[in-house]
Amino acid sequence: MSPFSTYIIHLADNALILGHRNSEWTGHGPILEQDIALSNIALDLIGQSRNLYQLAAERLNSLSPERKSITEDDLAYLRDSTEYKNFVLLEQDNGDWAKTILREFYFSHFQLLQYHGLLNRKDPGLAAISEKSIKEIRYHVKWSSEWVCRLGDGTLESHARMLNALDALNPWIPELFIAADYEKEAAESGLALDPSALYEDWLSMVNTVLANATLPLYPPEKKDAFSLSGKNGFHSEHLGYILAEMQFLQRAYPGCSW
Amino acid sequence: MIPEEKIFEDKIAREVRIEPRDWMPADYRKLLIRQMSQHAHSEIVGMLPEGNWITRAPSLRRKATLIAKVQDEAGHGLYLYSATETLGITREETIDQLHSGKAKYSSIFNYPTLTWADIGAIGWLVDGAAIMNQVPLCRASFGPYARAMVRICKEESFHQRQGFEILLTLSRGSEAQKHMCQDAINRWWWPSVMMFGPPDDASPHNQKSMQWKIKRFSNDELRQKFIDVCAEQVRVLGMKLPDDKMKWNEDEQHYDFGEINWTEFREVVNGNGPCNKERLEARKKAHAEGAWVREAAAAYAGKKNHSSNNQ
Amino acid sequence: MEKNASSESWPLWEVFIRTRQGLNHKHAGSLHAADAQMAIENARDVYTRRNEGISIWVVESRHIHASAPDEAASFFDPANDKVYRYPTFYNLPDELKNI
C-alpha cells in the first residue's frame, strides 16, 4: 500500500474509533440534551471516516483494477488490530464524562489543525473532505472546550475528575506529533502533513483553555514513558475488544450483505 | 358544572386546543401527565435495546443510521418531557417516578434484542405500531402534546423504513440471514400487537382519554389497523407472521387473528418481563453517574453569573 | 459539598428558531441547560438536526411573561368589531387604480 493510502486510512481509523467510542454513550449520557450532543459528534466522526475510507478504497481500486474492488466496509470491518492505524488515545475506554470530554478536547484541537493543513496539500479529494469536516470539528472544539471549563472550574469533584482524566490521557499525547514513516513520506511528496509542525499551535490552543479551566497545563511536569504507537499498528489492549465487537457480524457471517 | 368546566368542555367539543395556562379539570391534567410522561419514558427506555447494537452494527451505513435513530428517540423523549413540564411537573419529578417504578413505560422494551435482525424487526413492527398510535395524537386536545407529536411523527417516518430495509436485506441474503429475519419477526410480533394496550373493554383510561379527545381511536381499532397493514407488508419480505389463525375475513374486510396472551402482557407490565430490571437499572445508573456532571455545570454557570453581575 | 436535587438541576429554556432568512424566529420547544451558551448549543443539537434553522434564540422560561388566559375575552374580543382597520372597509369606485 502506498504511503498516502496508508495515511488516509490512518485518518479514517482515527475518526471511526473515536466515533465508535463516543457512540457508546448514546442512551447513557448524563442528561438527555448532552446524550444528543455527543451522539451528534459520533455521527460527524463516523461520517468523516466513511468519506475517508471511500477515498482510500477508490485509490486502492484504481491502483489494482484486476482485484475484486474494496469497499469502505472491507476497510473498517476486515482489518485486524495491527492493521489499524488510529491513535492509542482514541481507543482508550470512555471512563467518566471527564475522560470522554478531555479526549474529545485534545483530539478535536489536533484534528482541526491537521485538516486545516490538509486544505492546501496536493490531493483534491482529501482537501474536499477536510473542508467539509472542518466545519464539524470547529463545533467539536467549541463544545469540548466549554465542557473542559465547566468541569475544571465546576465543583471540587469535577475538578478532581478532570485531574484523573489528565493523568490517564496525557501519556497518549506525544504520539499525535511523532510522524510515522508513511506520514513523513507522504508529507514529503506534498500529499500529507508532518504532524510535528502542529505541536506549538496545538499546545497554545489547548493550554489557553486548560488555564481558563484552572487545570494544570500540558505537558505534565513528569514525562511519562511512551512506547505504544497506534499509527504504526502498535496498540493498547482496548482496540482488540472494540474490533471484536464492531466486526462480529462481518466475521461470523463472511461475505454477506447487510 | 362550574363555568370554567363548561368553557373547557365546549372547547373540546369544538376541537379548540387546550393550552397549558387554560383552566382544565384536575383529572384531565392527571391523565395527560400520566400518558405523556409514560410516552416520554418509553422513548428513553426504548433507546436501550437498540443502542445495544450500535457498536455491533454490521456496516458503517447501518451504524450511522442506527445512531441517528436512537438519537432521535432521545430527542422525542425530550420533546415529550418538555410538553409534560407545561402541566406543572418538572422533568426531574417525572424521571423520579420512572426510577421509583411508579411510572410505567411501553412494555415492548422489556424484551431483549438478540440478533441484528431484531433491529430491523423493531423498526418495522415496534416503530410501525408506535406510528399507528402517534399519528392520531397529532390531533390531541392538549396543544403542547399535539405539537410534540407532529414533530415526532415527521422524524419517525425514517425509522420504520430503515427497519424494513434491514429485514428486506436479510430476507434476500444467505440462509442464515433469512432464518435470523424470521426468528426476529416471530419474537417481536406478539409483543408489538400488545403495544396497543389491553382490549377496549379492559382498558380503564381508554374511555376517558377518548372522551377528552386525547386519544382518537381505541386500542382495538388501532390494533386491527396495524395487523391489517403488517399482514400485507410481511409478504414483501417473503416471511410469515407467527399466527396460524390469521386470515383475511371478506365480510369484515379485516384480518382475523389469534388470541393474544394477556397474561404475558400483564406480567411484563408488572415488572416480570425478560429485561425490566436491566432497563431500569441502566436508566438509573446513567442518571446517578451523571449527577456530578449536572452539578458541575450548574456550579460553573452560577460562578459565571455571579462574576458577570459584579462587573 | 452539599448535594441536593436543586444543585444539579438545570433551568428550563424556551427555544426560538429562524428557519429561513427573512422569516421570524418561531417558538420550537424547550429544553434544559446550565447556561445560555449551552442552551443555544443544545437547541442546535435538539431542534435543528434536520436543517430546520439558521438562527437560534433562547430565553430562560422564567423570564417569559404572558397574558392571562382568563382575561382573554376582555383582552382580545374588543378588536373584533374594529372593521375600519381593514382596507376592505372602504368603498371606492372600481376605476380607481393603484390604491
CA distance B158 to B149: 15
Q: Is the ipTM of this complex over 0.85?
A: yes
Question: What percent of chain A is modeled with pLDDT above 90?
Answer: 94
What residues in A contact B290, CB-CB < 8 Å?
29-31, 97
CA distance A28 to chain B (A): 5
User: Phi and psi dihedrals of C28, rounded to 5?
Assistant: -110, -30
What residues in A contact B54, CB-CB < 8 Å?
23-24, 26
What residues in C contact B155, CB-CB < 8 Å?
50
Residue spans per domain, chain A: 3-252
State how beta strands C55-60 and C12-18 pair: antiparallel
Q: Which amino acid is at B180?
A: M
State whether residue A149 sits within 8 Å of chain C by CB. no
DSSP, residue by residue, B52-75: TTGGG-SSHHHHHHHHHHHHHHHH
User: Phi and psi dihedrals of C35, rounded to 5?
Assistant: -150, 175
Beta pairing partners, A186: none
The band of C1, judged by pLDDT with boundaries at 50, 70 and 90, is: very low
CA distance B154 to chain C (A): 11
Number of Cβ within a 10 Å radius of residue A203: 16
- Which residues, including other chains, have CB under 8 Å from residue B196's CB and lie 6 or more apart? B129, B132, B133, B219, B220, B222, B223, B226
Q: Contact B90/C9, CB-based, under 8 Å?
A: yes
Whether residue B311 has pLDDT greater than 60: no
What pLDDT is attached to residue C3?
41
State whether residue B294 sits within 8 Å of chain C by CB. yes
pTM, two decimals, is 0.94
Q: What is the pLDDT of residues B23-54, one digit of tens each?
A: 999 999 999 999 999 999 999 999 999 999 99
Looking at beta carbons, which pairs linking B85-90 to residues 24 or more positions away fall under 8 Å? B85/C12, B85/C30, B86/B20, B86/B144, B87/B20, B87/B29, B87/B32, B87/B33, B87/B36, B88/B29, B89/B33, B89/B37, B90/C9
CA of residue A74 relative to chain centroid, distance = 20
The band of C84, judged by pLDDT with boundaries at 50, 70 and 90, is: confident
Mean pLDDT of the C26-37 span: 96
Terminal-residue alpha carbon distance, chain B: 56
State whether residue B75 sits within 8 Å of chain C by CB. yes
Q: Contact C45/A33, CB-based, under 8 Å?
A: yes
Whether residue B297 has pLDDT greater than 90: yes
What residues in B contact A39, CB-CB < 8 Å?
67, 70-71, 74
The band of C2, judged by pLDDT with boundaries at 50, 70 and 90, is: very low
Mean pLDDT of the C43-52 span: 93
Residue among C4, C19, C32 with most chain B CBs within 10 A, to mutate: C32
Max avg pLDDT among A222-236, B229-243, C59-73, C74-88:
B229-243
C-alpha cell at C82: 374594529
- When the pLDDT of each residue in chain C is averaged and rounded to a whole number, the result is 89
User: Phi and psi dihedrals of B291, rounded to 5?
Assistant: -60, -45
The architecture that CATH gives domain A3-252 is Up-down Bundle (1.20)
What residues in C contact A150, CB-CB < 8 Å?
34
Terminal-residue alpha carbon distance, chain C: 71
The band of B166, judged by pLDDT with boundaries at 50, 70 and 90, is: very high
Side-chain-side CA neighbours of B12 within 13 Å: the count stands at: 22
CA distance C6 to B12: 37
Number of Cβ within a 10 Å radius of residue B23: 15
Q: What is the pLDDT of residues B117-132, one digit of tens each?
A: 999 999 999 999 999 9
The band of B208, judged by pLDDT with boundaries at 50, 70 and 90, is: confident
Nearest by CB to C45, from A31, A36, A146: name it. Answer: A36
Whether residue A224 has pLDDT greater than 80: no
CA distance B122 to B87: 31
Subunits that touch chain B (at least 3 Cβ pairs < 8 angstroms)? A, C
Q: Which amino acid is at B174?
A: S
CA distance A8 to A128: 13
What pLDDT is attached to residue C5?
45
Sheet-wide strand order for C25-32: C25-32, C12-18, C55-60
Q: What percent of the residues of chain B are helix, what percent strand, and what percent coil, each to the nearest 5? A: 70, 5, 25
Whether residue B202 has pLDDT greater than 90: no
Q: Which amino acid is at A133?
A: S
Are A253 and B174 in contact by the 8 Å Cβ rule? The answer is yes
C-alpha pair distances (Å), A3 with each of A184, B170, B222, C48, C79: 9, 38, 60, 40, 75
Enumerate residues 241 to 260 of chain B having a beta carbon within 8 A of any beta carbon in chain C: none
Mean pLDDT of the A131-150 span: 98
Q: What is the pLDDT of residues A74-120, one digit of tens each?
A: 999 999 999 999 999 999 999 999 999 999 999 999 999 999 999 99
- When the pLDDT of each residue in chain A is averaged and rounded to a whole number, the result is 96
